[in-house]
Amino acid sequence: MTSIKTLATSIVLGGFAMTATADTYILVHGAFQSAAGWSQVAEGLTVQGHTVVAVDLPGRGATGANAQAVTLADYIATVSSAVEAAAEPVILVGHSFGGITISGVAEQMPDAIKRRVYVAAYVPQSGESMQALAEMDSDNGFTAESFVLAEDYSYATILESDKVRLFAAVATPEQQTTLPATMLAEPLAPLSTAIA
């Protein structure tokens, strides 16, 4: 997996940010990350005159009962609220697990979405979960040992020695140094919930 920060330049220069009109972008992070990971992308889009909202999904860093209470429906509702707050149809961008979330939002409110952009993201079919898609992805680099599961199975973290290898292998040395400290505990229930 590639970190959001390493994708900043390619997103801004890759063509889909270069439009004649100002658009509203809703940016959705992946698992174990937060909206802060979009900072360079948001800056690049803002400089071009676009409106940018980087959404923090619920449960970032939550543990125990707080993590157990978080659902995929909560993720979809949080992003849907950001879309509803926009004055016009938005460009909805999802990174990694964010692809599952933006797919759910687009199903619920297709007329509010101008375009969906999947950045190194999972694109689900109805009935698939993030966990099922990841298990089918033989190139993702994850092993059973990569995840550190909470004793109550409410959340997971990434093994310290795997953070850079899995999330920042092609990042700059500076990004590889700072990324591990920004990674958060991820509630498990949304990862195993099938999307409709």
Among candidate residues 96, 103, 129, 154, the one labeled active-site is: 96
Are the C-beta atoms of 127 and 196 separated by less than 8 Å?
yes
Are the C-beta atoms of 35 and 99 separated by less than 8 Å?
no
* Residue 95, helix vs strand vs coil: strand
Outline where 87-161 has alpha helix (H): 98-108, 130-136
The phi, psi pair for 31, rounded to 5°, reads -65, 150
Strand 155-158 and strand 186-187: the pairing is antiparallel
Active site residue 154: no
Q: Could you list the active site residues? A: 96
